């Protein structure tokens, strides 16, 4: 059944019946009267949009529309379960069957692409018709083998109208996607099942609690959860084979609106937290619960002094005294972070977070440790970061490296490739950052006198003082001549050689072999005769597989 109101349906039926003779009114009518997205009548878990996209159940919206595949005929197909057991269907038939009520498996009807473009599956471009009507349309609108000038003009008018519609629908892409998302949420199985079993879940919650004390004035007594608790203190409940927090089930079962419940079971959106006004984690009284963002929940917990800090956290290893001792050792710059971490039984990233203040920021000050300190592993005046990188097997760019690199670049005696080889621990991005001045902008190039002590360890220069290139000439790439290209075409036709084998034999890349195979180069050249393979058999590489012909 066509998805229109009673007033518009007769007009749509009339325009659709005449669309194969005069398509322009139909194109205009579709854009202003049909919904942006609909559920498919045969598969309600699938949503079809007016711009020819199909969204599958649940998480597919996050991944995008169903992936389209182009068949040998040029038509697009998608994965779509059908009543006859087939797993895929032509996309234009799915769109027409969803919006216009045409049976998906009705083989007596064709679907006419009004602009002749098989990959354009926007609804205004599609009209169901009989095979005869389709053939007549192709003749009258310049899509048949024999084309008249009048037919070409009529087709041009149709394409102009279709292109205007496409531009308008593409500008509405986000709006159409949101409409599809709303329909997908409404068709979520868990959401629909929750609505059906809502009263039963309420009864289960009431039977699993005891009334507790009133923690805050005006809130009323807590509903203390008597069934299993998680290690973090929150109750847990399994309903519809889905385990979630008991207080979350309680909020949505007693207070949640249809839209809130729909979003709760939808994987494609970021859920809100169910927050406790009473600060009792195993309370499931819906009057004590409200929705909030994760940040709002954390802020509320912090403002009420419920956020565990330092030694109050269950997995902490350090205490406030240890933090102050760590800070004292970091201030002395005599020990690297791995040495300090081993001393206190933690990891090096933990020491780095203490230093930056991301952890234990509420503890201030430093104090000298009360135990015997290990020997310093950093020389006085040395940067601990360099020593730490050396211990970790990583090289660090030093100021001398930067100044010498800039000297080599400014002297114009070495190429970029040679300079990078001289500093193998400096990456390409860092190299160009130093050269352009984006990195280490406070350092200048060495003088000739300063650089003279390093000349013995530098690679040979690439250019003379007057700019002459002293590098050995590069071996020119061997171009492929016509005889080789013809032989390559014949070997591709006969088969049995991998493209990597052919690339090595002819001294070219696999990409070039693929370009020859696809006809992108040497397209006018015929393949060598089969006899040439027999004549050159001794020079050809062995086959990787039996010939295909």
Whether residue 329 lies inside any domain: the answer is yes
Q: How many CA atoms lie within 13 A of 15 on its CB side?
A: 17
Examine the domain organization and report whether 443 and 326 are in the same domain.
no
* Segments forming the whole domain that contains residue 212: 188-307
186: buried, middle or exposed (CB in 10 Å: 19+, 13-18, 0-12)?
Answer: middle
Whether residue 471 lies inside any domain: the answer is no
Radius of gyration of the chain (CA): 37
Examine the domain organization and report whether 38 and 179 are in the same domain.
yes
Alpha helices in 392-520 (DSSP H): 399-411, 416-422, 428-436, 448-451, 482-494, 499-506, 510-518
Examine the domain organization and report whether 154 and 212 are in the same domain.
no
Give the pLDDT confidence score for residue 395 in this predicted structure.
Answer: 59
166: buried, middle or exposed (CB in 10 Å: 19+, 13-18, 0-12)?
Answer: middle
Q: How many structural domains is the chain composed of?
A: 5
Contact 171/165 with Cβ under 8 angstroms?
A: no
Give the pLDDT confidence score for residue 475 in this predicted structure.
Answer: 57
Rounded alpha-carbon distances, angstroms, from residue 495 to 262, 489, 490, 499, 517: 57, 10, 8, 10, 11
Rounded alpha-carbon distances, angstroms, from residue 442 to 123, 399, 430: 62, 10, 15
Indicate which CATH number applies to the domain containing 65.
Answer: 3.90.75.20
Please tell me the distance from the alpha carbon of residue 537 to that of residue 549, in angstroms, as a whole number.
17
Classify 143 as helix, strand or coil: coil
Contact 431/419 with Cβ under 8 angstroms?
A: yes
Tokens of 438: 């984006």
Give the pLDDT confidence score for residue 311 in this predicted structure.
Answer: 67
Please tell me the distance from the alpha carbon of residue 375 to that of residue 373, in angstroms, as a whole number.
7
CA geometry: angle at 286 spanning 284 and 292, to 5°?
100
CA-CA-CA-CA dihedral for 140, 143, 148, 154, to nearest 10? 60
Whether residue 409 lies inside any domain: the answer is yes
Whether residue 273 lies inside any domain: the answer is yes
pTM of the model as a whole:
0.46
Residue 161 CB coordination number (10 Å): 20
Examine the domain organization and report whether 138 and 215 are in the same domain.
no
Give the pLDDT confidence score for residue 289 in this predicted structure.
Answer: 92
Phi, psi of 475 (to 5 degrees): -70, 125
**pLDDT by 10s per residue, the chain, length 549:** 445 555 667 777 888 888 888 888 888 888 878 889 888 888 877 889 999 898 876 544 445 566 777 767 788 888 888 777 777 888 888 898 888 877 766 778 888 999 888 888 999 999 888 888 888 888 888 888 777 888 888 888 888 988 898 899 889 988 998 888 888 777 777 888 888 899 999 999 999 988 887 777 778 889 999 998 888 889 999 988 888 899 999 999 999 988 888 878 765 456 688 999 888 888 999 999 999 888 888 888 888 877 766 666 666 788 889 999 999 999 888 888 888 988 888 988 899 989 888 888 888 889 988 888 887 766 665 566 555 655 555 557 888 888 999 999 998 888 888 888 888 878 888 888 899 888 888 889 999 888 888 878 888 888 877 777 777 666 555 578 888 899 998 888 888 888 888 888 888 888 888 888 888 888 888 888 888 887 887 888 888 766 555
Domain final residue pick, 132, 159, 184: 184
Give the pLDDT confidence score for residue 191 in this predicted structure.
Answer: 83
Chain-centre distance for alpha carbon 427: 27
Examine the domain organization and report whether 156 and 196 are in the same domain.
no
Examine the domain organization and report whether 430 and 327 are in the same domain.
no
């Amino acid at each position: 059944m066509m998805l229109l109101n009673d007033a518009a349906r007769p007009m749509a039926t009339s325009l659709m019946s005449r669309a194969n003779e005069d398509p322009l009114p139909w194109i205009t009518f579709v854009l202003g009267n049909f919904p942006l997205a609909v559920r498919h009548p045969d598969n309600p878990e699938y949503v079809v949009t007016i711009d020819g996209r199909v969204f599958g159940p649940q998480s597919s919206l996050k991944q995008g529309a169903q992936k389209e595949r182009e068949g040998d005929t040029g038509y697009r197909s998608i994965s779509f379960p059908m009543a006859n057991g087939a797993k895929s269907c032509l996309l234009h038939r799915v769109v027409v069957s969803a919006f216009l009520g045409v049976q998906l498996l009705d083989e007596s009807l064709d679907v006419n692409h009004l602009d002749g473009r098989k990959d354009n599956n926007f609804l205004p471009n599609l009209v169901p018709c009989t095979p005869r009507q389709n053939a007549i349309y192709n003749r009258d609108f310049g899509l048949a083998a024999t084309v008249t000038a009048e037919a070409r003009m009529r087709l041009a008018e149709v394409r102009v109208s279709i292109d205007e519609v496409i531009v308008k629908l593409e500008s509405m892409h986000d709006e159409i996607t949101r409409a599809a998302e709303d329909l997908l949420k409404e068709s979520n199985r868990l959401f629909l099942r929750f609505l059906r079993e809502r009263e039963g879940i309420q009864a289960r919650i009431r039977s699993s609690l005891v009334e507790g004390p009133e923690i805050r004035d005006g809130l009323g007594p807590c509903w203390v959860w008597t069934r299993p608790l998680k290690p973090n203190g929150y109750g847990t409940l399994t309903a519809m084979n889905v385990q979630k927090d008991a207080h979350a089930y309680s909020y949505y079962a007693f207070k949640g609106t249809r839209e809130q419940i729909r979003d709760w079971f939808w994987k494609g959106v970021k859920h809100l937290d169910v927050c406790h006004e009473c600060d009792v984690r195993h309370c499931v009284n819906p009057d004590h619960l409200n929705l909030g963002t994760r940040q709002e929940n954390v802020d509320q917990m912090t403002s009420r002094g419920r956020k565990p800090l330092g030694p109050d956290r269950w997995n902490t290893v350090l205490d406030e005294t240890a933090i102050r001792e760590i800070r004292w050792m970091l201030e002395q710059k005599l020990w690297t972070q791995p040495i300090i971490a081993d001393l206190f039984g933690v990891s090096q990233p933990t020491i780095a977070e203490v230093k930056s203040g991301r952890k234990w920021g509420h503890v201030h000050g430093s104090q000298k440790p009360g135990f015997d300190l290990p020997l310093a592993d950093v020389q006085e005046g040395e940067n601990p970061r360099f020593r730490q990188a050396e211990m970790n097997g990583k090289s660090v760019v030093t100021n001398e490296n930067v100044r010498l690199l800039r000297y080599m670049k400014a002297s114009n005696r070495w190429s970029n490739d040679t300079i990078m080889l001289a500093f193998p621990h400096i990456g390409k991005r860092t190299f160009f950052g130093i050269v352009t001045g984006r990195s280490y902008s406070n350092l200048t190039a060495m003088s000739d006198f300063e650089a003279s002590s390093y000349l013995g360890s530098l690679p040979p220069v690439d250019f003379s003082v007057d700019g002459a290139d002293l590098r050995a000439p590069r071996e020119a790439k061997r171009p492929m001549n016509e005889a080789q290209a013809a032989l390559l075409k014949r070997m591709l036709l006969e088969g049995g050689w991998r493209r990597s084998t052919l690339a090595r034999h002819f001294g070219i890349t696999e990409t070039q072999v693929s370009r020859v195979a696809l006809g992108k180069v040497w397209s006018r050249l015929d393949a060598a005769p089969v006899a040439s393979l027999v004549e050159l058999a001794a020079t050809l590489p062995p086959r990787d597989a039996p010939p295909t012909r």
